[in-house]
Chain A
Amino acid sequence: MAQMNMIQALNSAMDVMLGQDPAVIVLGEDVGFFGGVFRCTDGLQRKYGEHRVLDTPIAEGGIIAAAIGMGVNGLRPVAEVQFADYVYPGYDQIVSELARLRYRSAGDFFAPVTVRMPCGGGIRGGQTHSQSPEVLFAHVCGLKVVMPSNPYDAKGLLIAAIEDDDPVIFLEPKRLYNGPFDGEPDKPAVPWTAHPKGEVPLGHYRVPFKAEIVKAGTEVSVITYGTMVHVAEAAARVLGIDAEIIDLRTIVPLDVHTIVESVRRTGRCVIAHEATRFAGFGAELSATIQEQCFWELEAPIGRVGGWDTPYPHAFEWEYFAGQARVGLALKAVMEPV
């Protein structure tokens, strides 16, 4: 075991996989010699060579397409898109090709590609470095969509993603890279060393594509993922509400069983994500919970997200679904009907 932040944990996952499987290769802009703009691939090219850790042209469409071709030819590519906000030139290759290759060839062709990308706000990145586009992938049939909330999960989920024969979109909340973040930007940053999930095994392990109950509770179920796991935990703590916090970890596949079992028990539910609210993943969650838990619900489902605007540079914290927004939603669902 070692203390790792999320960057080191992701690096360790790729290190383990490059070391144990010669088919694994890493490619992306600035990932090789430089080690990535967030340092996630630091040292990997030195260790595994220029043919296993490839710098690429600035062409997300080219990166994804090349990864598909490599995947078809027996490699197991881990492609990095520098920011999730820059994935769109590669979106056609992801949606029309990567996601459907297995289906359209009746299983005769597939590309086991993992596409990593930092997502989310809170780093003063403005509209082009802050987006949370997970639902744009969740809506596409044939893609698995993963978003870890801590270093331990990040490593185990990334290894599981790389070993998966299906394409995986792996979104990394960049505000969590260096420490858990509870949504209060004025408080001093907390490192992962102080967090139990900053303790990461050095070798190979997988975290299954299933939800985790990060805190058991009886009064309300909070269904969330990514950065919002920490924000929601903090908001419930401040309010003294015994909330059950569920970290989905993957939104595709969706662990409906864990969600439904929890909401049936607590009778109340708040859904929280960083992404914009309208047609966000919360809508899918809310519909599923309503369908399966209607008779157990004591209050309407609460849904919290970013506002339905591009991510503004000057209003980062007014935009971000912080503790106040989550707290108000928790209070609203806790009110006796």
Chain B
Amino acid sequence: MNPKSRLHVPSPPARPGQAPDFSYVQLSPAGAVPKPEPNARLADLGGLDTSLIRVLDDQHRALGPWDPHLDAHELQLGLRYMLLTRLFDDRMQKIQRQGRMSFYMKSTGEEACSVAAAMALEPADMLFPAYRNQGLQFVRGQPLVALMCQLLSNTGDMCKGRQLPVMYHSAKARLFSISGNLATQFPQAVGWAMAAAIKGEDHIAATWTGEGSTAEADFHYALLFASVYRAPVILNVVNNQWAISTFQGFAGGEQSSFAARGPGYGIPGLRVDGNDFLAVYAATQWAAARARTGTGATLIELVTYRASAHSTSDDPARYRPKDDYENWPLGDPLERLKQHLILKGDWSEERHSALSQELDEMISLAWKEAVTFGTLTDGPRLNADQMFEDVFKEMPAHLREQQQQLHIEQATPWRK
């Protein structure tokens, strides 16, 4: 290497075989960060983009101005959705490993980023998810069978077999079609929000992307348009530390927080403990109030950790310590909310195992039903004719012709 070289190459603090080191994660004590009014001027927001908004402390108490004071029922519901997300992820991953599904992506460790945010929004608000936001699907009431059918590309698949597993959508539930391309949904959510403002509607949009994807230009378009038009949108960056093998330093996380990108464009940035259900809920609520009252967009960085592999095609043991997640300073979102509820006397280990069992059975039942619509290897299959539909609203002549050619191809014993 050239000794004169001044090129800095970011490097994660620990690689496989080394001790996990999260000293780079700047923490604030729970309850310590002030909470301004949602319509406060950007200049009066202080250090919200660099401190860490936390409500739950290490003893599982809810502290400080950001505590959303949710009732026991809401908290139990949040726990239920997060547990459902985790159990669903675990089961789908297992099924993928058995070869019955082509691909899967878990969201383990990041459940609060989706579940708490979706619960803090109104059902008519439009969500533009990334591919690791399955919690949004559950909160918005997507039936498990529908999600499983998508994963199986079977006859019940809402995408008619067009998309990779986890790329769900539901127009009815206001969950936008998930793209396999990164960050493309970010500026689209801004456009949706601009349209809501143009039409004089109260709805807002919310979108999510990973910290790695903030490197794409789309992220910057989103911030600029959101700022220029004060669009009623919430822009969430799920900083789970890893983009496949690439450490968040390569997305610019070494120099400043991702939340701090917001003020640079003229919109507030909130840096939030993404594993703290209450903090995510409160931050979303704050940003939603700001958007709904015409003050404009908010960028929320949800600091979390991708506890699982990027996908079933990835092996994180090659690039990070095996016990990284066990040492993650912000703990586990499920465990933290569970302990908080237990502390308040609104939950118990017994109720938790009963819930776990109930959800597991629900998943089993749903799976039994989903496979009746077909799997990769057996059961009914979608009709290949459908491959030619929806390219355009009306099928043009050349596609009708190709549809006929496919019939001929499949019916002709060409080898003779």
Residues in chain A within 8 A of chain B (CB atoms) = 29-30, 33-34, 37, 49-51, 54-62, 85-86, 88-89, 124-129, 238-239, 277-278, 307-310, 312-315, 318-319, 323-325, 327-328, 331
CB-defined A-B contacts under 8 Å, sample of 9: A30-B246, A37-B244, A37-B313, A124-B102, A126-B167, A313-B102, A313-B153, A314-B382, A328-B408
A62 touches B245 (CB 8 A): no
* B215 located at the interface, meaning its Cβ lies under 8 Å from any Cβ of chain A in the complex: yes
- Contacts known (A57-B252, A327-B415, A328-B409); A315 close to B382, Cβ less than 8 A: yes
A278 touches B414 (CB 8 A): no
Using CB atoms, name the residue of chain B closest to A59: B215
* B262 located at the interface, meaning its Cβ lies under 8 Å from any Cβ of chain A in the complex: no
Selecting from B104-112, B175-183, B299-307, the interface stretch reads B175-183
Smallest CB separation, A42 vs chain B (Å): 10
In B181-238, the 8 Å CB interface with A consists of 181-182, 212-213, 215-218
B164 touches A29 (CB 8 A): no
Please report the C-alpha to C-alpha distance between residue A323 and residue B410 in the assembled complex, in whole angstroms.
Answer: 11
A33 touches B319 (CB 8 A): yes
B414 touches A328 (CB 8 A): yes
Smallest CB separation, B119 vs chain A (Å): 29
* B: interface residue count bin: 35 or more
Residues of A within 8 A of B367 (CB): none
Please report the C-alpha to C-alpha distance between residue A85 and residue B163 in the assembled complex, in whole angstroms.
Answer: 14
- Contacts known (A309-B391, A315-B382); A59 close to B216, Cβ less than 8 A: yes
In-complex Cβ contact of A128 among B181, B217, B245, B313 (8 A):
B181
Please report the C-alpha to C-alpha distance between residue A85 and residue B408 in the assembled complex, in whole angstroms.
Answer: 30
In B1-47, the 8 Å CB interface with A consists of 1-2, 5, 7, 9, 11, 15
In-complex Cβ contact of A127 among B1, B162, B213, B399 (8 A):
B162
Residues of A within 8 A of B15 (CB): 33
* B255 located at the interface, meaning its Cβ lies under 8 Å from any Cβ of chain A in the complex: no
* B95 located at the interface, meaning its Cβ lies under 8 Å from any Cβ of chain A in the complex: no
B406 touches A54 (CB 8 A): no
In-complex Cβ contact of B162 among A238, A310, A318, A328 (8 A):
A310
Please report the C-alpha to C-alpha distance between residue A29 and residue B244 in the assembled complex, in whole angstroms.
Answer: 9
* B161 located at the interface, meaning its Cβ lies under 8 Å from any Cβ of chain A in the complex: yes
B153 touches A34 (CB 8 A): no
- Contacts known (A128-B181, A328-B414); A314 close to B162, Cβ less than 8 A: yes
- Contacts known (A37-B313, A315-B387, A319-B387); A55 close to B157, Cβ less than 8 A: no
Residues of A within 8 A of B164 (CB): 125-129, 313
Please report the C-alpha to C-alpha distance between residue A318 and residue B398 in the assembled complex, in whole angstroms.
Answer: 17
Please report the C-alpha to C-alpha distance between residue A182 and residue B54 in the assembled complex, in whole angstroms.
Answer: 57
Please report the C-alpha to C-alpha distance between residue A35 and residue B103 in the assembled complex, in whole angstroms.
Answer: 21
B319 touches A34 (CB 8 A): yes
Please report the C-alpha to C-alpha distance between residue A124 and residue B151 in the assembled complex, in whole angstroms.
Answer: 13
B179 touches A128 (CB 8 A): yes
A318 touches B153 (CB 8 A): no
B398 touches A278 (CB 8 A): yes
Residues of A within 8 A of B415 (CB): 238-239, 327
Residues of B within 8 A of A318 (CB): 384, 387, 406, 410
B180 touches A126 (CB 8 A): yes
Smallest CB separation, A63 vs chain B (Å): 10
Using CB atoms, name the residue of chain A closest to B210: A58
B313 touches A57 (CB 8 A): no
Smallest CB separation, A297 vs chain B (Å): 22
Residues of B within 8 A of A323 (CB): 414
Smallest CB separation, B147 vs chain A (Å): 15
In-complex Cβ contact of A307 among B9, B167, B381, B388 (8 A):
B388
Of A49, A312, A325, chain B has the most CB atoms within 10 Å of the CB of A312
- Contacts known (A59-B215, A59-B217, A312-B161); A51 close to B414, Cβ less than 8 A: no
Residues of A within 8 A of B250 (CB): 55-57
Residues of B within 8 A of A319 (CB): 387
In-complex Cβ contact of A327 among B1, B162, B318, B414 (8 A):
B414
* B158 located at the interface, meaning its Cβ lies under 8 Å from any Cβ of chain A in the complex: no
Please report the C-alpha to C-alpha distance between residue A49 and residue B2 in the assembled complex, in whole angstroms.
Answer: 10
Residues of B within 8 A of A325 (CB): 409
Using CB atoms, name the residue of chain A closest to B245: A34
Smallest CB separation, A76 vs chain B (Å): 16
B244 touches A61 (CB 8 A): no
A58 touches B243 (CB 8 A): yes
A50 touches B9 (CB 8 A): yes
Please report the C-alpha to C-alpha distance between residue A154 and residue B164 in the assembled complex, in whole angstroms.
Answer: 29
Using CB atoms, name the residue of chain A closest to B164: A126
Residues of B within 8 A of A312 (CB): 161-162, 387
Smallest CB separation, A307 vs chain B (Å): 5
